[in-house]
Every structure is written in structure tokens, then in C-alpha cells.
């Protein structure tokens, strides 16, 4: 089975992704994650202003058969939350790297990206 990946993203071992852009990072679930979870029905997301710490759980995602923590790829303050997921959680299934994004943060330390997988490492290590 082949999963969608993008080369401008950084990935975690739990299959989250981060897209850095001018000191901010958009965060979401990788294609593999949404596929494993199945049809998503609900997100418990942080609020604007909340602080995320790399590696710590910051959100909870529910499908019809599972509940899963979502771990922060990078540390930072939440500056935007994808409110559309409230009524349309299926966006993350359908477009996990686009409309299905979860939150956007102001990165506390862009060097933290070095701790993550780039697309090649991600595909090699985790998508075997």
C-alpha cells in the first residue's frame, strides 16, 4: 500500500507532519495515520494561545473505532486552529496535507525540525 507524502514536510515517528513557513509551522496527520485510524469523527484541539511542546500530546483524534493522541512535531504557541474540522472531520481523511490540517503554531525553536524525519527518512524508516 502506498501512502501520500510531500517533500516540503517534516514527519514524526507517530506520523504527524509539520510544514514550516516564515517561523510558523502548520501541523497535521500524515496519510498513513488517517488511513490507520479510519473514518474520523471528532477532534479535540487546543485553543489559540496554548503552548505546545515537541513530543507531547496536544490533541485527541477519534474515529469510529479508535481514539488516539496527537503529538506535537515542534514546540510553539498555537496561532490558528482549523475550525472546519468541527463540522467536517472527514477533511483530514480526504486531504490530510491540505484542508485537513490541524493547527498552526509560532515555532519556539526552528532547530527542533532537525529532530524530525524528512521525506526520504520518513519513507525509508516508517513506510516500509
Partner 1 sequence: MSQHHTAHGTPYAPHDPEATAEMLDAIGVDDVEELFAFPEELTYDGSFDIDAHTERETKADVGDMLAQNDDLVEFLGRGHYDHYVPSLVDHLSGRSEFLTSYTQYQAEASQGFLQVLFEYQSILSELTGLEIVNCSIYDAATALGEAATLSSRVRSVSGDRILIPELTDDRHRSVLENYADGADLTIEEFAYEDGNADLDALAAAAGEDVSMIYATSPTIRGTLEENLSDIGDIADDHDALFCLGTDPIALSVIEEPASVGADIVVGDASVLGMPASYGLGLGLFSTREDFLRQIPGRLSGITEDADGNRAYAMVLQTREQHIRRERATSNICTNAAWVALRTAMHASMLGPSGLMELAKTCIDEPAELAAELDAIPGIDAPAHDRHHFREFVLETERDAQAVADGLQDRGFAVHVLDDHELQVCVTDTNAEHTDDLVTAFEDVAALEEVAQ
Partner 2 sequence: MKFQQATYEDDANDRYEPHLAEKDQTTVETDTSLPDELTRDEIELPELSEPELARHFTRLSQMNWGVENGPYPLGSCTMKYNPKFTEEIAADPAGAIHPQRPDETVQGTLAIMHTLQDYLARIGGMDAVTLQPPSGAAGEFTGISIAKAYHRANDDPRSEVIVPDTAHGTNPATATMAGYDVVEIESNDKGQMDLDAVRAACSEETAALMLTNPNTVGVFEENITELAEAVHDVGGLMYYDGANLNALMGRVRPGDIGYDIMHYNVHKTFATPHGGGGPGAGPVGVKEELREFLPNPHVRETEEGDYEFYEPAQTIGKVHGHHGNWPVLLKSFAYIYRLGDEGLLDMGEKAILNANYLASQIDFEIPYEPFFHEFVASAGEHHATDVAKMMLDNGVHAPTTAWPEIVPQALMTEPTEIESKDSLDTLAAGFNAAAHASDEELHEAPTSTSARRVDQTDADRNPQLTWDAIDQSAGEPADD
Which residues make up the interface to partner 2 (CB under 8 A)?
39, 41-42, 64-65, 89-90
State the Cα–Cα distance between residues 60 and 2, nearest whole angstrom.
Answer: 25
Min separation Cβ 32 and partner 2, Å: 16
Min separation Cβ 127 and partner 1, Å: 26
**Pair 116, 10: CB distance under 8 Å:** yes
State the Cα–Cα distance between residues 19 and 113, nearest whole angstrom.
Answer: 10
Q: From the list 48, 57, 64, 124, which residue makes contact with partner 1 (rule: CB under 8 A)?
A: 64
Q: In the complex with partner 1, which residue's Cβ is closer, 48 or 66?
A: 66
Identify the three-state secondary structure at position 111.
Answer: helix
Rounded alpha-carbon distances, angstroms, from residue 53 to 3, 32, 49, 78, 114: 27, 23, 13, 11, 15
Q: In the complex with partner 1, which residue's Cβ is closer, 26 or 68?
A: 68
The region of 49-57, 63-71, 78-86, 104-112 touching partner 1 under the rule CB under 8 A is 63-71
Q: What is the CA radius of gyration of the chain?
A: 13
Instruction: Pick one of partner 2, partner 1, none as the site partner of residue 67 (Cβ within 5 to 8 A by kind).
Output: partner 1
Using rule CB under 8 A, residue 84 touches partner 1: no
Amino acid at each position: 500500500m502506498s501512502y501520500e507524502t510531500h517533500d516540503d514536510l517534516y514527519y514524526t515517528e507517530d506520523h504527524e507532519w509539520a510544514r514550516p513557513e516564515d517561523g510558523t509551522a502548520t501541523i497535521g496527520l500524515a496519510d498513513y495515520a488517517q488511513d490507520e485510524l479510519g473514518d474520523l469523527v471528532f477532534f479535540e484541539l487546543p485553543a489559540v494561545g496554548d503552548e505546545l511542546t515537541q513530543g507531547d500530546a496536544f490533541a485527541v483524534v477519534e474515529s469510529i473505532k479508535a481514539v488516539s493522541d496527537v503529538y506535537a512535531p515542534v514546540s510553539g504557541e498555537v496561532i490558528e486552529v482549523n475550525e472546519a474540522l468541527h463540522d467536517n472531520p472527514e477533511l483530514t481523511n480526504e486531504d490530510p496535507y491540505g484542508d485537513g490540517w490541524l493547527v498552526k503554531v509560532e515555532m519556539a525553536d526552528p532547530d527542533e525540525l532537525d529532530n524530525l524525519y524528512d521525506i526520504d527518512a520518513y519513507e525509508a524508516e516508517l513506510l516500509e
